[in-house]
Amino acid sequence: KDEFKSKDEPNPYKRELKQFGEPGCWEFNKLWDAQINYTWESYFVAVPLGSPEGDLEVAINPWNQDNQKWVNLQKQIAQPRTEIPAPAEQQVYDTLNVGSWWGSCQARLGRAIQAIKNTRGWQIPVAPGERSTLSGQYSALHPRLLYQNFQDGLGLPTDSLRLFWRVMSIAYPGVFNGSEKLNAIELTKRLAWKHGGVAEELGIKFNQERDDNYEGLIRFPNLCSIASAHFATHYPQRIKDYWSELRREIYTDLNLHHDKFCSRTRRPFQVRRADAALSSLPDYGNGYNGVMFSSKWLADDMSLNPSETSALRTVVDKVKKRHFGDSSPADWWVLVLGDGDGMGGYVSGGKLKFYEDYIISDLVEQSQIDNSNWDDLLKKTKKRMGPATHVGLNRALLDFSNRLVPHITEERFCGRVIYSGGDDVMAALSLADLPGFLRSLRAAWCGGNDPLDRFSSNGGYWKWKDKETIPADIPMRSLFTMGKEATMSLGIVVAHKSVPLPTVLEKIWQAEKERAKKLLNKDGLCFRVIYGSGNILEALMKGDLLEDWWRFIQVYQEVDLSPLLYRLADELPRHADITKDNRLFGKVAKVVILSRDEQIPSSVEVALINWLDAWEQWAYTARQQALISREKALGANPEDIGMLLRFSAFWVSAQQKKM
């Protein structure tokens, strides 16, 4: 009652509250249908194989004179951009597995599906009123939101919407916290987990008699748990000490719903490495949860009124300051979005090389080969994409998305996979794990050297080295990768805990699609730091420079580089320019380093200057190619190295505060 009373009316929404119990008042069917029906739309295309006028099967060698008509029909269907087959391929068709029209058919399918998408009638439904507080997409639901009449100016009071979601938190305890407002899709998924049987189908058991058993069903961490997972993994005792003191303060001084506080904070992080470290503590019980670091989210979960929330905030801030100073382990979290570059070329076969890279000449029966065409086949003819090669591509994508990404994210680092399918990856993790995660992810994608040396990388495959320590989620066989020339562009958003999730999601898509993918030849990294004030720091880096960057930044535990990096961020763009051979940025940096009272180790200085030299070399090449193509040299200007140095200083400073 205290939440919704006003000066003029002690209970202004009493009548509306009563209407919630009447089935006839629920009128959001139009809104519900608009959101659900326009969420998914399937498209498919088909390309015929062979000809309805002839048999599908032909002679072993289809390119003899008798089958010329059949061959012409295949060309008409596949529409290859080059002559297929090449003369050299025709000569060895009976002996070697050479491809034909498969890649061209795949490319035509791709063009066909894109044509359908370009002419589709599907559109995102209009979203009047307040949007979802979770995703920022679509209108938040309310039973009296007259969706079809909004064009007439009919609105909905903010307190009405707030009242409805407060009622939902009471009707479904533990499922909704009373402060969030969801759209139809999010509401369906949330209720289906507990009340729709999804959890049971996945083998998750819970006590039907408990009203708040939704807490026992949660399988994904909140953002505070993600942000503090790395800290909890390495300092579990400090997590326990902080929780114990916070519990005492709440119990003795505030007497604020002590049981609710324990139920919300004594549950697992849902981050494997963090929970494993915390479970080694005495009296682990049901676990510990990172929500204890956020007074706002903790108050929401405990359903506190405004005065109780204010009191809780005072206590949480006081205890955090005692244990962690002016910052806390849950201040920053990271969202990473990755996408493979040039995947259309892999599917169509455009990325394949000459046959000499795929054929072991010594194993070929030379008596069946016409020597006059052999060199042409090996050195002048590119391999075609056939069914077998396509299977290998699919296996590489499956091994990466189903095996390597989950292992790297959740076993090697303190993160959680949001989705991983084919070449698409989205993961959430702690800020401290970001450099290592990016290095491991990129190496797994292209089959490069494993930064932690757990996998061997012979021949473009990844295989676990030590049979005695192989994890349960990694098979003993060699895992396929995309090959040494494969690259991946990544958008990375580092967000303060106060930044709304819809803002983070909006910025991550922009960072990956509009920035990282736009670097010269792609293979870009776009870092965006979103501060609590709303300010954004953006830094762009070519993926090739990541290893050089890590060589000097990894000494953060021994040397605080942030003052030097901030100074270099100011000095370098003002005193150096990009040249072909002069490497001015490295020279200016050396002068700045020598002028400081506090010197850094010589090895760090060398690594830093080498990184600056490598960046200048890449920037010069990018600018020259941009002049030819009349495009913008994204990330290749003097001010861009300043932003990269600022981001580096931010990361180092954030790690120093936790030590």
pTM: 0.89
- Predicted confidence band at 445 (pLDDT cuts at 50, 70, 90)? very high
What are the φ and ψ backbone dihedral angles of 498, each rounded to 5 degrees? Answer: -85, -10
Average pLDDT over residues 284-290: 91
Peptide bond into 85 cis (omega under 30): yes
Average pLDDT over residues 282-299: 90
Average pLDDT over residues 414-432: 95
Average pLDDT over residues 378-405: 91
Q: What is the mean pLDDT of the chain?
A: 86
- Sequence-distant (6+) residues with CB within 8 A of 371 are none
Residue 659 has pLDDT above 50, yes or no: yes
In the prediction, which pLDDT does 211 show?
Answer: 46
* 441/308: higher pLDDT: 441
In the prediction, which pLDDT does 446 show?
Answer: 95
Residue 51 has pLDDT above 70, yes or no: no
Average pLDDT over residues 537-541: 97
Nearest to 551 by CA among 561, 563, 564: 561
For the beta sheet containing 415-421, the strands, ordered from the edge strand earlier in sequence to the opposite edge, are: 415-421, 424-430, 332-340, 488-496, 524-530, 536-542
Residue 336 has pLDDT above 50, yes or no: yes
What is the percentage of the chain residues whose pLDDT exceeds 90?
A: 46
E strand or H helix at 340, and its extent? Answer: strand 332-340
What is the percentage of the chain residues whose pLDDT exceeds 70?
A: 89
Average pLDDT over residues 38-42: 75
- For the stretch 18-31, pLDDT in tens is 777 777 676 676 77
In the prediction, which pLDDT does 155 show?
Answer: 64
| 280/2 Cα distance (integer angstroms) | 44
Residue 120 has pLDDT above 80, yes or no: no
- For the stretch 484-536, pLDDT in tens is 999 999 999 999 999 988 899 999 999 999 999 999 899 999 999 999 999 99
Write the Ramachandran bin of 137: left for phi over 0, alpha for psi from -120 to 50, otherwise beta.
beta
In the prediction, which pLDDT does 493 show?
Answer: 98
- Sequence-distant (6+) residues with CB within 8 A of 342 are 351, 487, 522
Strand-pairing partners, residue 528, are 493, 538
> Residue 322, Cα to own-chain centre: how many angstroms?
34
Determine how β-strand 424-430 pairs with β-strand 455-456.
unpaired
Say if residues 73 and 366 touch (Cβ distance below 8 Å). Answer: no
Among 126-130, 170-174, 596-600, the range of highest mean pLDDT: 596-600
Residue 360 has pLDDT above 90, yes or no: no
In the prediction, which pLDDT does 73 show?
Answer: 77
In the prediction, which pLDDT does 136 show?
Answer: 82
Nearest to 543 by CA among 572, 512, 570: 512
